[in-house]
Structure 1
């Protein structure tokens, strides 16, 4: 048995010398042609069967889309085996769609693709140019043996069924949740100062809701401007979350998940500094009170809560990714990945000396989103 030389042409070897047949060839049973290899009619029938399975897959995908819009989740009158019709229909149609594609591919490979037995000897790890070329030739041969070029019916049916599988993916995007609408642009701070109609003594009366007081986070006590000293940093929330009756807000709107949503969007940082340190932006000359400024606590990078204050510089640092905001200069970013300043809440003092919000934030709080506009301050 002659050894095979795998030298690399430079005096070295790409691998060890190995025999072309390291063990005796045990032989393989005599190759028997399949019916589809010798009978054109059976070959054509197998081709139609494969296309039929791809077609069934496409039909099931369409039925998935129909089921999604036909059956409502929770319909008790559509119960199948203890499961709702929506669950059964969606799971059954999508499962059958994938199953028929698998059956079609297996049937295709067993009846129509190449059916030759191959023996491949182990070779050194290094592949020479001849081996690489042989690999490309094998790939080309495999492509030709699939019969794709000669069987356009299978190709078209396969592409059609696979393309339709994108329909369930698009439809299911709807179940990620309802679109937010304009909820990203507003917070509960806007509840104060509005006019509403209430029933008093059987008559409709228009009243003005008091402007929203700023309360200490967790305990909910309103904050007197006179209580804050230079350098104080206070985490705050709107008083409506602790006293909804004062602002004519039903309890149902500030409980459970709704409460957590309101708290996350309305969280504030109050900071008091020397009034002369503040450099108000255009149109923000009256947004502070005796050196007290209020900013959103939500970082504009990815929404982390901010609370690290450099007292001497009045810089606010996000602990997640070190975005740094200047509280003296409209919350502008001076370092880090945040792309926008912190939204500032315009504040004032009511007739009892408590800090209140003049209005809602004039821009959305939190991280950026596609529809959001940004103007330089």
Structure 2
């Protein structure tokens, strides 16, 4: 039965008190709904949805001192969150993603040692301030409404009126007229967004550029230096001794794949020396240099028995004979330790003639360079 609240073209009784009659799909066409204002749709949808408003707190009066103070608090909190996010990016840039690399060193500066703590500090501060700002905005500036609503199935009517309700919520939030908050919110959103996606730069950058698994920082003319950075001349070692050396480049003593054993052979060892074919000239006088990384499982090999001319790996007991091109003679290793070609520079210090001719480390990388 049709009533004044249910016939086509009516407001469904949303503008007057009392119960509604009929249903929304029968009462309103899409054209009629499109002709209504957002406020009318909001009211109409609420009444048809069976919403009962129990309490309404409209929030601070627009333009009042209370509102201005709350806007400043929220705006500056969002701005501080954005600033913290951009500070994170400044620190992160030092890792070499889009600015020159900030190398950590064991004996580095205070700033170098603080790299990771600063990343955690600025990210945590940014996300905390963002949360505090949202809580302040919700508690101090948004209208607070307590309502109950019956659950029911959706329809075109529901979609239209719900959309009007959502837009009405944005309008009631006051964001459009609170410029300090919208600008600081945008600044914070940009900073936090960049902060969260910046670590993905490592996935965008091709990790295989330059064959990093098959190359080290050894190159022609790179000096052999001790752990403390001091260079080495022939004669600095006693016959039969071993010295662990690294490339004289930034962070060289922290590059495990470049760690090298410089060995001075005794006269009888030199007489029995049988290098690998094609590597007869890799040594210099009675000095030879081999990778410190075991070709079985990548453990550091550094136990040297000069009486037997064997280098021992402490992990799985592989043994390599330095008079046979560091060929494995015992244990699970099946590949010789790569040999570094060496010579001396004009000042008489040991330098590499090139990088290793093959990949260092476990047998998996037993392949020629590309």
* Structure with more relative contact order (C-alpha pairs < 8 Å, separation 6 or more): 2
Q: Please give the TM-score of this superposition, normalised by the length of structure 1.
A: 0.42
Q: Please give the TM-score of this superposition, normalised by the length of structure 2.
A: 0.43
